[in-house]
């Protein structure tokens, strides 16, 4: 498989298999799905990876608490994630589980490679451990109450033998990479955050846990009495799925026949350090290329508080989907959160974005198709349909520019602005008046052809975020599927039969949000 612009490999984090899919998981996955669909539209071969992270102490303790084995818990939770992503129209190409035999073998091959290069050593560790974050802390890291600085949960004091990766050896190499590639991490504030972190001496990374304390993990290939630190195991999934490294450990010196390196890792900002410090230094240690870009998005917050399972304030995307439809949920999450920054979820904001769909896009589609049925017996007139061509071209330009820069919310704004312009064109041209007056048949044909073309352009622009609804609208315009952006230039709608359907986005009262969402 050749490297270069003909392919695009993107990943979500693999989600920890102890909780149900929630709005945070959904946003990350919708964002990745939108980017994947955009690149497929552009004619690229895409590998879109997601999956579940299935090792570590949290899994072991959660399974014990439920009276299950760890693999039984993992099987159950992986099935729930796959089912949720099916409901929500996620077009992933590969769902990886870290308990897969292939992945276990690649992790062991990766660690063997580091050991053979003299980058792993054994030492004693003494410090504070947070089970929830699967992370060690020093005393100075803890909160004033002595809790984990990330999740504010209690920590345990631990002293034990560990194996360490010489991460500190690659600190200057990583700094040089960041300085040479100023947009390697998006948004820019996250890149600056990592550079700030690297101004302090970088410690070596503990990569193992003794089996006597934690049995549920990938055994170290050089010491079966230790299992691999779950974050090291998890990060390597991106390489496993790429096909770069065989289970036999071949491929480190030539990845050209694989999908590696990833073109884009999409993550939440809370796991930036693991992806922008641990991961690149591990890859440098193994002699593998670094991912081309990392997008670290913000958090969904309720008021001033991050949504989290432990806070009991998470929103279930499947509950919203049941009432409003999956594409409305997709639209809200992508449209509402400025890519890379935090956003606040409220039922009122959700309904406002839904009404945007209903009043601007849905109303436009209903009016245009109804008028073609009424005035032209359901056939799109044989007119040029150029009345909004300049506005369409500008919308496409803004849309492409924003998508390529991973400002996905701005791309959706460009599409919705064009829908507003099309609504304005209806009011300006007043096709109902053109239909009543003799001698204005040519004007009416041009109006209706222009509006039909505008709807077709909107299906192309909005398909990556609302695939089901845009396929429905395309069929209403007599098309088999939404055109691509490149196909719009030569699109010929003349004579196609339109078909009235149910409203794309039926009006909903605020009460439809239900008590569980408020």
pLDDT in tens, 206-256: 999 999 988 999 999 999 999 999 999 999 999 999 999 999 999 999 999
Q: Are strands 264-268 and 294-297 parallel, antiparallel or unpaired?
A: parallel
* Confidence at residue 512, expressed as pLDDT on a 0 to 100 scale: 58
Give the pLDDT band (50/70/90) at residue 306.
Answer: low
Geometric angle at alpha carbon 53, from 49 and 57, rounded to 5°: 170
* Confidence at residue 392, expressed as pLDDT on a 0 to 100 scale: 98
Q: Is the peptide bond before 261 cis (omega within 30 degrees of 0)?
A: yes
State the average pLDDT over residues 320-347: 89
State the average pLDDT over residues 486-513: 85
* DSSP three-state, residue 219: strand
Domain with CATH 3.40.50.620 in the chain: 7-297
33 Cβ neighbours under 8 A, 6+ residues apart: 48, 89, 90, 91, 92, 330, 464
pLDDT, tens digit, 9 for 90 and up, residues 441-489? 999 999 999 999 999 999 999 999 999 999 999 999 999 999 999 999 8
* Confidence at residue 20, expressed as pLDDT on a 0 to 100 scale: 77
Give the pLDDT band (50/70/90) at residue 2.
Answer: very low
Hey, what CATH topology would domain 347-490 get?
Answer: Isoleucyl-tRNA Synthetase; Domain 1 (1.10.730)
Domain with CATH 1.10.730.10 in the chain: 347-490
Per-residue pLDDT for 310 more than 60? no
Geometric angle at alpha carbon 257, from 252 and 261, rounded to 5°: 65
The residue among 135 and 204 whose pLDDT is bigger is 204
CATH architecture of 7-297: 3-Layer(aba) Sandwich (3.40)
* DSSP three-state, residue 311: coil
Give the pLDDT band (50/70/90) at residue 323.
Answer: confident
pLDDT, tens digit, 9 for 90 and up, residues 372-420? 999 999 999 999 999 999 999 999 999 999 999 999 999 999 999 999 9
213 Cβ neighbours under 8 A, 6+ residues apart: 57, 158, 160
* Confidence at residue 316, expressed as pLDDT on a 0 to 100 scale: 65
* Confidence at residue 515, expressed as pLDDT on a 0 to 100 scale: 43
Instruction: Look up residue 63 and give its DSSP letter.
Output: H
Rounded (to 5) percent helix, strand, coil in the chain: 50, 15, 35
């Amino acid at each position: 498989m050749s490297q270069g612009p003909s392919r695009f490999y993107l990943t979500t984090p693999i989600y920890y298999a102890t909780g149900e899919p929630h709005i945070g998981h959904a946003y990350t996955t919708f964002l990745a799905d939108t980017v994947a669909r955009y690149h497929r539209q552009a004619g690229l071969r895409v590998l879109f990876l997601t999956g579940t992270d299935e090792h570590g102490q949290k899994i072991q303790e959660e399974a014990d608490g439920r009276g299950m084995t760890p693999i039984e818990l993992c099987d159950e939770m992986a099935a729930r994630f796959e089912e949720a992503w099916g409901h929500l129209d996620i077009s992933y190409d590969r769902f990886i589980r870290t308990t897969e035999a292939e992945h276990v073998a690649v992790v062991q091959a990766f660690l063997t490679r580091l050991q053979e290069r003299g980058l792993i050593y054994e030492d004693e560790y003494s410090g504070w451990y947070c089970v929830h974050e699967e992370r060690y802390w020093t005393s100075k890291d803890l909160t004033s109450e002595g809790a984990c600085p990330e999740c504010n949960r209690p920590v345990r004091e631990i002293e034990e033998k560990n194996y360490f990766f010489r991460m500190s050896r690659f600190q200057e190499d990583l700094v040089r990479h960041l300085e040479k590639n100023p947009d390697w991490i998006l948004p820019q504030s996250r890149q600056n955050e990592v550079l700030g972190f690297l101004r302090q001496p970088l410690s070596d990374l503990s990569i193992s846990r003794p089996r006597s304390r934690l049995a549920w993990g990938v055994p170290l290939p050089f010491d079966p009495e230790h299992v691999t630190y779950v974050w090291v195991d998890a990060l390597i999934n991106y390489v496993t799925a790429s096909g770069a490294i065989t289970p036999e450990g071949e491929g480190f010196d030539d990845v050209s026949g694989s999908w590696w390196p990833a073109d884009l890792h999409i993550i939440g900002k809370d796991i930036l350090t693991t992806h922008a410090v641990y991961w690149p230094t591990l890859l440098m240690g193994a002699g593998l290329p670094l991912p081309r870009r990392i997008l670290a998005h913000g958090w969904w917050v309720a008021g001033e508080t991050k949504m989290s399972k432990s806070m009991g304030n998470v929103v279930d995307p499947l509950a919203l989907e049941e009432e409003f439809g999956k594409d409305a949920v997709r639209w809200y999450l992508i449209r509402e959160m400025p890519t890379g920054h935090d956003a606040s979820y409220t039922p009122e904001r959700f309904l406002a974005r839904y009404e945007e769909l209903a009043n601007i896009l849905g109303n436009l589609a209903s009016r245009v198709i109804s008028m073609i049925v009424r005035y032209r017996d359901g056939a799109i007139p044989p007119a040029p349909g150029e009345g909004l061509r300049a506005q369409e071209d500008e919308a496409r330009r803004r849309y492409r520019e924003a998508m390529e820069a991973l400002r996905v919310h701005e791309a959706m704004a460009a599409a919705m602005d064009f829908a507003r312009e099309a609504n304005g064109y209806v009011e300006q041209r007043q096709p109902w008046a053109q239909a009543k007056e003799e001698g204005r048949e040519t004007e009416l044909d041009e109006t209706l052809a222009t509006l039909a073309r505008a709807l077709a352009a909107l299906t192309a622009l909005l398909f990556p975020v609302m695939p089901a609804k845009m396929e429905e609208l395309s069929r209403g315009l007599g098309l088999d599927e939404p055109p691509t952006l490149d196909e719009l230039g030569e699109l010929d709608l003349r004579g196609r039969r339109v078909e009235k359907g149910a409203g794309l986005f039926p009006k909903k009262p605020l009460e439809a949000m239900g008590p569980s969402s408020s």
